[in-house]
Amino acid sequence: MADNTAASKDNTQNEKGDLLLAARTECNLVKVLTLGLGSLITLIVLTWAVELWLKIGFQWFDEQAMAACLGLTLAIIFIRYPFSGGRDRPSLPWYDAVLAVIGLATCLFLAYVYGDFEANPFLERPTMFKIGIILIPMIWECLRRTTGWSLTIVFSTFFAYVFIGHLMPGMLEGKEQKFVRAIAELGVSNVAILGLPTKIIVLTVVLFIWMGQLLLHTGASEWFTDLAAAIMGRSRGGSAKIAVVASGLFGSISGSAVSNVASTGVITIPLMRQAGYDAKTAGAIEAVASTGGQIMPPIMGAAAFLMAELLELEYTEIILAALVPAALYYLAVFVQADLEAAKKGIAPLPKDRIPPLLRVLKEGWFFVIPYAVLIYTLFTLNMPPQESAFWAAICVGIVSVVFGYKGHRLKFRQLWDSIANCGRQSAEIIVIGAMAGIIIAILDRTGLGQALTLILAAVGEDSLFLLLILTALVSILLGMGMPTSAIYLLLATMIAPSLIKLGVNPIAAHMFVLYFGLMSMITPPVAIAAFAAASLSGAKPMETGATAVRLGWIAYVIPFVFVLSPSLLGQGELINIITATVTAFAGVWVASCGLIGYLFGPLSPIMRLLFFVSGILLLLPADAIPYGLVINAAGLILAVIVVMKDLGANKEKRKAAKAAAAAE
C-alpha cells in the first residue's frame, strides 16, 4: 500500500514536472517566434536603407516594405501579448496563433498586390475592402493589447466618426462616407494605414532603435555611466549628477524613457541611495534625467527626424531649436540635485568608486565615433536620416569588433540579439503609426480636422493661455505609456496642426506637444518612468512621481514660454534670442533654488516664494508681453536682493557658529 502511495506521488510529481516543462517550452516558443519575426522587420528595414533590392534589379514600392513590416508586427503582438493584457504568457493559445497567421498573411498579400492597387484603385476596390475589413479590427485589437484602453478609445471615437460624423450637430458635422469605399481606402491607402506615420517609423525610426540596441549590447550605457562618474563623482551629490549626465547621454538614443531607466538606473539609483539620497528622490532624479534624454539633441529619441519630416524642414533647424530648451531642462535638474546634496550633507562619491578619467576614455573612447559619423553624414553629406542611422549603427558594430569595451568585442550572438530585439520592440510603435495614419486620413476625409481647428479657435479666441492649458492636458493624457516616437507622432497628427492654423509658430507647436507628451512619463497617475525608477529604488510610486514633477518643473513651464515667444527656439531677431536665453538660464537657476528651499543655507517659506517668483519673472519672454523688459528687470533686481540677503544671513550664521566653537 505504501509502495502504491509513493508511486502515485511520484507519478503526480512527474506529471507536474511535465506540465511545467511544457509551459516553459511554450513560453520559449513565444520568445523564439517573436524574436524571429522581429529580426525579419529589422532586416527588411536594413535592406531598404541601402536600397539593396533596387541595386539587384527589383523595383518595389516603399509601401510594400511597410505592409510586410506591419504584418510581422501584427503577428508579434498576437503571439506576445495575451488577450487579457500583460506580457507574461505561459502558453500560446490556438486562437492567437490563428490571428497571427491571418494578420501576417493579409499584409503579405497586400504587399504582393499593392502595385495593382496603385495602378487601378477603382477596379481593385472590392479586394481593398476585404483587406481593410481584416486589418482595421486587427490594428484596433493590437492597440488594446499593447497600449491599453485609453488610446484604443481615442481611436474608436475617431473611427466611429467616419460613419456618424454627418449626423453630428454644429461645427462637428462631417461629410457622409460610403462604408465600402471608406474601409477600402482607410485599410489600404498610402495616406492611411500605409501613410506618412508608418513610413517614417518603419524606414527611419526602426534604424535608430537598432542603433540604440547595438549600443546597449556593446556596453555603451555602462561607459556613459563610468564617464559621468569620472567627471562628476568628486563634487557634492556626485552620484545624482552621474545619473543626470549618463541618463541624458544614453536617453537621447534609447527612444524610451522607461528602457533608459532600466538600463542606467540599475547602476545610478543604488549609487544615489548609498550616497544618502532618499529612495523617492533617487528614483525621481533617474526618471527625470531619463525622460529628458528624449528631448536632448542630436537624436531626441528619433523625434527630431520625425519633426523634420512632418514640418518639411531641415534637420539642422530642429536640432538648433531644441538646444536651449533641453539645456534649461537639465540645468533645472542639475541645480536641484546639487542643492539637495548640500541641503542633506551628501558627500561626493568615495574615491574608490570614482574611475580615473583617462582610463574611462581609454576603455570606451571609440563610442564617440558613431556619433561623429551620424553628425557628419547628416550635416556634411546631407544623407537622409535613415541612411545616416544605418551607417552610424554599422559604425557601432565595427568599433565594437575592432576595439571592444573592456576587452569584450561584439560577437555574432550579440549582433543578432540587437537585430531581433530591435524588431520586437518596434512592433508597438509600428502599430501606433498605422493608427496615426488612419486618424490623419479620417481628419482629412471627413473634414473633422477643420472642425477641430474651429473649435480650438473658439476656445483660443478668448484666451490663448486656456487653449494651451487644454492642449497640455490632452497631450499628457494621450502620451501615457508610449515610447517617444509614438507619443510625438500621435500628438503631431492630432493636435499640432490645429495650433499652427491658429497662428502658433510651427516648430513651437510641435515642440509644445512633444514636451507635454513626454511629461506623461513622470506625471501621476500613470508616470511609468517614475514608477519604473520607484521599483528600483524601493520608494512608493506616487511619491516618486510627485518628486519627479517637482524636479522636472521647467518642462511644464518652458513650452508656454516658447509658444508665446519662439526666441528660445532660435526663431526671431538675434537680440531677442540672446536676451531670452540669458534671462531664462538665470530664471531657471533662481526658481530651482526656491523649489528646493536651499542656496547658501536653508530658505524660509517667504524666501522660497521670493526666489521662485523672481525666477518666473526672468523666464517671461520680454518680446511677447507688455512691459516685458521691465518685468525681466524687476525679476533680476528681486533675484539679486534675495541672493545677497541669503548670502549675508548665512555668513552671519557661520561666524556665530565659529565663535561658539572657539568659546567652547
Cell 481584416 sits at which residue? 134
Task: Report yes or no: 364 and 227 within 8 Å, Cβ to Cβ.
Answer: yes
The rounded radius of gyration (Å) of the Cα atoms in the chain is 27
Residue 18 has pLDDT above 70, yes or no: no
Give the number of other CB atoms < 10 A from CB of residue 184.
24
Average pLDDT over residues 384-402: 85
pLDDT digits (tens, 9 = 90+) for 197-206: 888 788 877 8
Q: Which of 217-221, 393-397, 598-602 is the least confident region?
A: 217-221
Say how far apart CA 281 and CA 244 lie, in whole Å.
13
Residue 464 has pLDDT above 80, yes or no: no
83-91 contacts, C-beta under 8 A, 24 or more apart? 83/145, 85/145, 85/148, 89/27, 89/30, 90/23, 90/26, 90/27, 91/22, 91/23, 91/26, 91/27
Residue 8 has pLDDT above 50, yes or no: no
pLDDT at 428: 82
The strand pairing partners of 408, in sequence order, are: 405
Q: Name the band, by pLDDT with cuts 50, 70 and 90, for residue 479.
A: low
Contacts of 170 (CB under 8 A, 6+ apart): none
Residue 217 has pLDDT above 90, yes or no: no
Q: Which cell is 405 given?
A: 569595451
Say how far apart CA 291 and CA 160 lie, in whole Å.
34
More confident residue, 98 or 527: 98
Say how far apart CA 62 and CA 111 lie, in whole Å.
10
Average pLDDT over residues 573-593: 89
pLDDT at 79: 93
Question: Per residue, what are the HEC states of 541-559?
Answer: HHHHHHHHHHHCCHHHHHH
Q: Name the band, by pLDDT with cuts 50, 70 and 90, for residue 77.
A: very high
From the list 446, 526, 553, 448, the residue with the least C-alpha distance to 172 is 448
From the list 218, 193, 425, the residue with the least C-alpha distance to 301 is 425
Cell 520586437 sits at which residue? 424
DSSP secondary structure string for all residues of 408-430: BPPPHHHHHHHHHHHHHHHHHHH
Residue 62 has pLDDT above 80, yes or no: yes
Contacts of 405 (CB under 8 A, 6+ apart): 218, 219, 220, 222, 223, 363, 364, 367
Average pLDDT over residues 258-278: 77
Say how far apart CA 378 and CA 382 lie, in whole Å.
5
| Domain residue limits, the chain | 572-664
Average pLDDT over residues 44-68: 85
Contacts of 214 (CB under 8 A, 6+ apart): 393, 396, 397, 400, 410, 415, 418
Side-chain-side CA neighbours of residue 227 (13 Å): 22
Runs of H (alpha helix) within 503-553: 506-518, 528-537, 541-551
Q: Indicate if the alpha-carbon torsion angle 277, 280, 283, 285 is positive or negative.
A: negative
Note if the pTM is more than 0.85: no
Say how far apart CA 54 and CA 46 lie, in whole Å.
13
Say how far apart CA 586 and CA 154 lie, in whole Å.
41
Average pLDDT over residues 80-86: 82
On the question of a cis peptide bond just before residue 525, with omega within 30 degrees of 0, the verdict is: yes
- Angstrom CA distances, 99 to 72, 116, 132, 137, 434, stand at 12, 26, 15, 11, 18
pLDDT digits (tens, 9 = 90+) for 353-391: 788 888 888 888 888 888 888 878 877 787 777 788 888
Average pLDDT over residues 81-85: 84
Residue 16 has pLDDT above 60, yes or no: no
Q: Name the band, by pLDDT with cuts 50, 70 and 90, for residue 256.
A: low
Say how far apart CA 148 and CA 85 lie, in whole Å.
8
Say how far apart CA 277 and CA 270 lie, in whole Å.
10
Average pLDDT over residues 109-121: 88
From the list 528, 628, 523, the residue with the least C-alpha distance to 583 is 628
Q: Which of 252-266, 343-357, 360-374 is the least confident region?
A: 252-266
Residue 36 has pLDDT above 90, yes or no: yes
Q: Name the band, by pLDDT with cuts 50, 70 and 90, for residue 460.
A: low
Q: Name the band, by pLDDT with cuts 50, 70 and 90, for residue 19.
A: very low
Residue 514 has pLDDT above 90, yes or no: no
Q: What is the mean pLDDT of the chain?
A: 82
Contacts of 630 (CB under 8 A, 6+ apart): none
Residue 542 has pLDDT above 70, yes or no: yes
Say how far apart CA 124 and CA 187 lie, in whole Å.
13
pLDDT digits (tens, 9 = 90+) for 181-200: 889 888 888 888 888 788 87
- When mean pLDDT is compared over 6-10, 98-102, 506-510, 627-631, the highest value belongs to 98-102
Residue 502 has pLDDT above 60, yes or no: yes
Residue 10 has pLDDT above 80, yes or no: no
Q: Name the band, by pLDDT with cuts 50, 70 and 90, for residue 404.
A: confident
Q: What amino acid occupies position 277?
A: Y
